[in-house]
Structure 1
Amino acid sequence: MLVFLSKHSSILLIAAAFIGFAFPKLSTLALPFLPYVLFTLMLFTLMGMNQKALVKAIFDSGAWVYAFVHCGVTTVIVTLMGIAFDASTELLIAATAVCATGTLFATPAIVRSVGFEPLKAMAFTITSTLMMPIALYINLAILSSDEFSLDLQDYCLRLFVFIFGPMVFSYAVHKLVPGERLARIHGKLAQFTIILVFSFPFGLTGQYRWLWDSDRPFAITMLFIAFAICILFFAIGLVLYWHKGRSEAYVAAITSGNRNVLLTYSVAGAFLGPLYLPLVGALQLPIYMQPVLVKFFLKKDGKRMAQA
């Protein structure tokens, strides 16, 4: 059963989004447990990585250049587009908060499920998360008319818990457990990793369902906006990294499209406005369609190269 779920995880992630939409009350009940899932997901993912290689990747200047693109460049583009289309302040705040958001901690697991090495995605995830409070503060300072304050103490605590905590624990495991035995253990845990990701689309789409029930025309508009944002993020990562090779370009594109919106909400709270959670819920479908589309394009490219 676990092998089947892992093999078809891309389709099942989309199914989880629809299930969360269909059962909004259950989705809302799952929402408070998602931070615990994040920790477990990070730990399982890091246990399968070479810690020295990961630290080296984090200190690579290229990872920080990516983080600037991930948080800064996307914010500028989305803001300009929002102004051009006369978007409301509430919608701009919600959209730019998504832009400032670091990469979803589940991204390395998603990247692995597509068939790529997750180490680069993990480095991008950590650097973009570290840059998030700066980008978020600037965005809110420019767009918010009310006084606001980011709970940086809470953010730093979560940063330690979700990143440094799993890294330290994983490092200890690598030191104490023989490599061959650890590889066998992680082979089993890796099957659970992608399953944990199912909780994210399920636990967040219920927030979009409440908007759907109260204002369907606007909810449909919000869904189109979510698709546009996600496509834009994906395209930016793909185009800017295409010169480094197809593999790295797809990793950057997937990483750019996945956003850890739950952590952003925990840090900024009500200052994100009333449209943030509905937008986050609407984003779940396009976000988790990415692995399916990437697999399709890779398969198509593979056939084309075989015929050439």
Structure 2
Amino acid sequence: MLSFLVRYSLPFMFFFALVGFFFPRVSAWVFPYLPYVLFSLMTLTLLSIKQSELMRRLSRLSVWLYALLHSLFFMVLVLGLSYFLPMSDDLLLAMLAIAATGSLFATPAIVRALGFDHIQAMAMTITTTLLLPINLSLALLIKPIAEVGLDWETYLIRLVVFIFGPMAFSYLVHRLVPVVILNRVLLTVSPYTILLVFAFPLGLVGSFREMFDANMLHAMGYFLIALIICLVFFVTAFLLYRKQGVEIALSAAITSGNRNVLLTYSVAGVLLGPAFLPLAGALQIPTYLLPVITRWLHKSLLS
């Protein structure tokens, strides 16, 4: 059964987003456990990557330039759109926070499932995650929150726990555990890390379902915004990297489209305002449809 889920993991991600929407009680039950799943996924993903090769990729300027595109470029784009399109301060803050968000830590596993360079995807994911504290702070300062100040102490503690914690743990394990033993364990565990990804669409989409039950038209507006955000991020990255080849372009596109909104929420929480979780929930449906679309695009472009 596990091997079947791993083999068809890409469509199953989208399937679990639909399960979370149609069964909101299940989604609500899973949601409180998502931070633990996130920490586990980040740690296992980092452990499964060859450290020397990863550091070599992280030293490339191109990876950091991608990280700026992934976050600051889209933040400026969202901010620019806010001057022409009517939107509430809460919605603008939510959109800025999503633009500031790093790539999902499941992205390397998704990219590997597609047959692309997962180490490059890991390097891009790490750089966008490392820039998250700066980008998120800018988003919170650009649109000050009415009666809530930024609790820097809590913010920094959460950054250490959810971003630097898995990185430090992975580094120590690679230094202390013999390579033969570590590789044997990872060889058994790594193929199944993608199963942890199913919890994210399942648990996050429930907040969107709550909005849908309260006001269907309002929720459909949020879904349309989420769809546009996902599409713009994906298409922009693909077009900018198209000259470097189909696989590189699609890797950049899916890395840009996948947003680790749970990490952002775990770090900043209520500071992101009431619009963030419903918009993040709506984003799960197009986000987890992207791997399926990417596989189809890859076959179409190659043929």
TM-score of the alignment, normalized to the shorter chain, above 0.5: yes
Mapping for residues 90-129 of structure 1, pairs under 5 Å = 90-129=90-129
Change in Cα spacing, 1:158 to 1:105, as seen in structure 2 (3 Å) is farther
Q: Deviations over 1:105-143 (max 9, x none)?
A: 111111111111211111111111121122222222222
Change in Cα spacing, 1:295 to 1:40, as seen in structure 2 (3 Å) is same
CA contact (8 A) 2:211 2:219 kept: yes
CA contact (8 A) 1:67 1:124 kept: yes
Change in Cα spacing, 1:106 to 1:155, as seen in structure 2 (3 Å) is farther
- Corresponding residue for residue 269 of structure 2: 269
- Corresponding residue for residue 224 of structure 2: 224
The CA distance in 2 between the partners of 1:218 and 1:169, in whole Å, is 43
Change in Cα spacing, 1:182 to 1:219, as seen in structure 2 (3 Å) is same
Q: How many residues align?
A: 303
CA-CA distance at 1:182 after TM superposition = 4.3
Q: Unaligned stretches of 5+ in structure 1?
A: none
- Corresponding residue for residue 235 of structure 2: 235
CA contact (8 A) 1:2 1:191 kept: no
CA contact (8 A) 2:155 2:268 kept: no
The CA distance in 1 between the partners of 2:165 and 2:89, in whole Å, is 37
Change in Cα spacing, 1:180 to 1:298, as seen in structure 2 (3 Å) is farther
CA contact (8 A) 1:151 1:267 kept: no
The CA distance in 1 between the partners of 2:137 and 2:148, in whole Å, is 9
CA contact (8 A) 1:152 1:267 kept: no
Change in Cα spacing, 1:119 to 1:148, as seen in structure 2 (3 Å) is farther
Compute the RMSD of aligned alpha carbons: 2.1
- Corresponding residue for residue 255 of structure 1: 255
- Corresponding residue for residue 86 of structure 2: 86
CA contact (8 A) 2:129 2:163 kept: no
Identity rate of aligned residues, in percent? 47
TM-score, normalisation: structure 2: 0.92
- Corresponding residue for residue 33 of structure 1: 33
CA contact (8 A) 1:34 1:199 kept: yes
CA contact (8 A) 1:126 1:163 kept: no
Q: Deviations over 1:32-83 (max 9, x none)?
A: 2111111221222223211011122223222221111111111111222233
Q: Deviations over 1:238-275 (max 9, x none)?
A: 12222222222111111111111112122322232211
CA contact (8 A) 2:45 2:105 kept: no
- Corresponding residue for residue 279 of structure 2: 279
Amino acid paired to 1:24 = P
CA contact (8 A) 2:159 2:267 kept: no
Q: Unaligned stretches of 5+ in structure 2?
A: none
Mapping for residues 113-192 of structure 1, pairs under 5 Å = 113-144=113-144, 146=146, 148-174=148-174, 179=179, 182-192=182-192
